[in-house]
Amino acid sequence: AQRVTQPEKLLSVFKGAPVELKCNYSYSGSPELFWYVQYSRQRLQLLLRHISRESIKGFTADLNKGETSFHLKKPFAQEEDSAMYYCAPNDYKLSFGAGTTVTVRA
Amino acid sequence: KAGVTQTPRYLIKTRGQQVTLSCSPISGHRSVSWYQQTPGQGLQFLFEYFSETQRNKGNFPGRFSGRQFSNSRSEMNVSTLELGDSALYLCASSLTSAWETQYFGPGTRLLVL
């Protein structure tokens, strides 16, 4: 069965510190990989798409096909990065992880 | 371009009733997907429509159905509502395929009493 795991439910970092959100997936095929983000009182939106490398807010993600992981990273977190982040493999339908709530402290 | 719109934004129903939710995609987008978001189950895929045809379906009972019109607008219907159907229902549109980047609406929050 398809499975997406985001092991951290909550993540708190200080402004300027690096942040990494983990995502592991288990799929029978090769899904396209996305990260979506939801800022407070805003709608869910695309943060990063693996195949096109399109990304907002300076985030990157490394695909490790051997480990089937797609961890999200940013070298210097900003307060506006506080949000809920979802890893979402896509095999013609998005499957979302449980999400990680990131809080960036001043 | 205007974003994805969903109506109504909030809805209160009682058990046994049925409900219809509406979604208008971004102009030019022909694929519309629906998702259910609950605290317990998270975000789950319901179904996807393209050219008025259901192209993909998630693991939900037959009480959940949908349709798409020729202008790509979509509706989702839930019959015989149960308390567990209380959720935020999200609609997302993409150009031609759910495999592409999806653009989400604000959601319809349904409360079943």
Task: Name the residue among A19, A49, A35 with its Cα closest to residue A87.
Answer: A35
Beta-bridge mates of residue B39: none
pLDDT digit string, tens, across residues A39-87: 999 999 999 999 887 788 899 998 888 879 999 999 999 999 999 999 9
What whole-number distance in Å separates Cα of residue A88 and Cα of residue A104? Answer: 22
User: A82: distance to nearest CA of chain B, Å?
Assistant: 19
pLDDT digit string, tens, across residues A14-48: 999 999 999 999 988 888 999 999 999 999 999 99
Q: Is B25 on the interface with A (CB under 8 A)?
A: no
pLDDT digit string, tens, across residues B50-108: 999 999 999 999 999 999 999 999 999 999 999 999 999 999 999 988 888 999 999 99
User: A79: distance to nearest CA of chain B, Å?
Assistant: 23
3-class state of residue A89 by DSSP: strand
Q: Above 90 in pLDDT, residue B11?
A: yes
Q: Is B56 on the interface with A (CB under 8 A)?
A: yes
| Most B CBs within 10 Å, among A44, A45, A52, A100, to test the B interface | A44
Q: Are A86 and A99 in contact (CB under 8 A)?
A: yes
